Amino acid sequence: MLTDKKILLIIGGGIAAFRSLDLMRRLRERGASVTPVLTPAAEHFVTPLSVSALAASKVYRDLFDLTDEAEMGHIELSRAADLIVVCPATANLMARMAQGLANDLATTLLLATDTPVMIVPAMNVRMWQHPATQRNLATLTGDGIAVVGPVNGAMACGEFGPGRLTEVPDIIGAIDAHFSDGPLKGRHALVTSGPTHEPIDPVRYIANRSSGTQGTAIAAALRDLGARVTFVTGPADTSPPAGIDVVQVETAQQMLNAVTAALPADVAVMAAAVADWRVENAGDRKMKKDGSATAPALTFAENPDILATVSKAATRPKLVVGFAAETDDVIANATAKRLRKGCDWIVANDVSPGTGIMGGTENAVTLITDTGAEDWPRLTKTETARRLADRIARHLT
């Protein structure tokens, strides 16, 4: 499958760098050519001579090497590959990628390329779980970068947990999958995300604390499995993923119109936190205090039920997935909601104060179907999205 594929391998500066040597050997066994790039920190763990021997290729190290620039400039080098693999992707390298820095050869190549990029993170467990790393991860996946791992295991520092480099055969498998058709190729996925903003007047609105992180991650995960994704998003904190069709809306009514226009679809994942109510008598001018100490009277009207509308549509998707953010009796309320709305699955979570889920980087969900409730462990929202996308792929194929 990898015959004649060109891999640009960027080796980051972590103890896991030594496993990139085995990765190069196995890639070449499968017919790929490998062009290695060493970061300055990587040279503390592997030598240019060993990397060059196993890659059977010149090693690129310095952004300002006149000989390298004369033979093949860094712009051409960044675009000559079929896939760029960053292994290991350290916390520092991920941070620089997320910020768009270009202060060495590796990051300059990554910023100057339009070639697909895959990162294989490896770092201390606390570094991996740090909110900054998780924010950077969300940014990178939103930019369309594929992520492989990390996995749980013992680390050189003596700690145990998520952060260990994925085993080399599994990395090879992910690279194989990149060059093959994903299980959702030819399928259309519709995903909603973020909050809605319901105007009170031109400067005020009713909203909720949803950041849009989970819906964004789901859209990216479905895209990575080969689906064509239509992403309808409210005013979220998280930027939409690359490589999908994005429709930005503000109100629940606008979201309903966009969702209806996007049908038919094979699967609809309704992850948006839609406001239940809107202000019926919203003003067209800013409401001001008049000195009477009398608050303006707001009249509320119920917003359209987007999930129920999609579930009952004539062009109903084969699979409709709703979300239930609850603060009490989570399973009971979510189970009742699945039946009331007419959807196939409900992803339920507890968003009561103290969980850190609403607006946070992690989620702990229960998947409710017609066969019962399945508790999932607390995971990053990116990992939750991948797990849900895999279940959707298995259901549809």
286 in a labelled binding site = yes
Would you say 170 is a known binding-site residue? Answer: no
CA-CA distance, 209 to 200, in Å (whole number)? Answer: 17
Indicate left, alpha or beta for 115 from its phi (over 0: left) and psi (-120 to 50: alpha): beta
Q: Active-site residue among 157, 301, 336, 339? A: 157
Q: Are strands 365-369 and 345-350 parallel, antiparallel or unpaired?
A: antiparallel
Report whether 384 contacts 367 (CB < 8 A): no
Tokens for 279? 């202000």
Was 110 annotated as part of a binding site?
Answer: no
**169 is annotated as contributing to ligand binding:** no
Closest CA to 397 of 182, 219, 243: 182
Q: Is 337 annotated as a binding residue?
A: yes
Distances (CA, A) of 245 to 190, 227, 253: 10, 11, 19
Judge whether 62 is annotated as a binding position.
Answer: no
User: CB atoms < 10 A from the CB of 305, how many?
Assistant: 16
Q: Return the structure tokens found at 109.
A: 């190549």
36 is in an annotated binding site: no
306 in a known ligand binding site: yes
Instruction: Please answer whether residues 201 and 285 qualify as being in contact, where contact means their C-beta atoms are separated by less than 8 angstroms.
Output: yes
d(CA 165, CA 18): 11
Measured CA distances, 124 to 158, 165, 221 (Å) = 9, 10, 25
**Could you confirm whether 87 is annotated as catalytic?**
no
- In 3D space, the residue among 304, 142, 125 whose CA is nearest the CA of residue 231 turns out to be 142
Q: How far apart are CA 197 and CA 159, in angstroms?
A: 44
Q: Is 370 annotated as a binding residue?
A: no
Give me the DSSP letters along 135-195.
Answer: HHHHHHHHTT-EE---EEEE-TTS-EEEEEPPPHHHHHHHHHHHTS--TTTT-EEEEEESB
DSSP 33: E
Indicate the annotated binding residues.
Answer: 276, 286, 304-307, 323, 337, 341
Catalytic residues: 157
Which segments are annotated as binding site for CTP? 276, 286, 304-307, 323, 337, 341
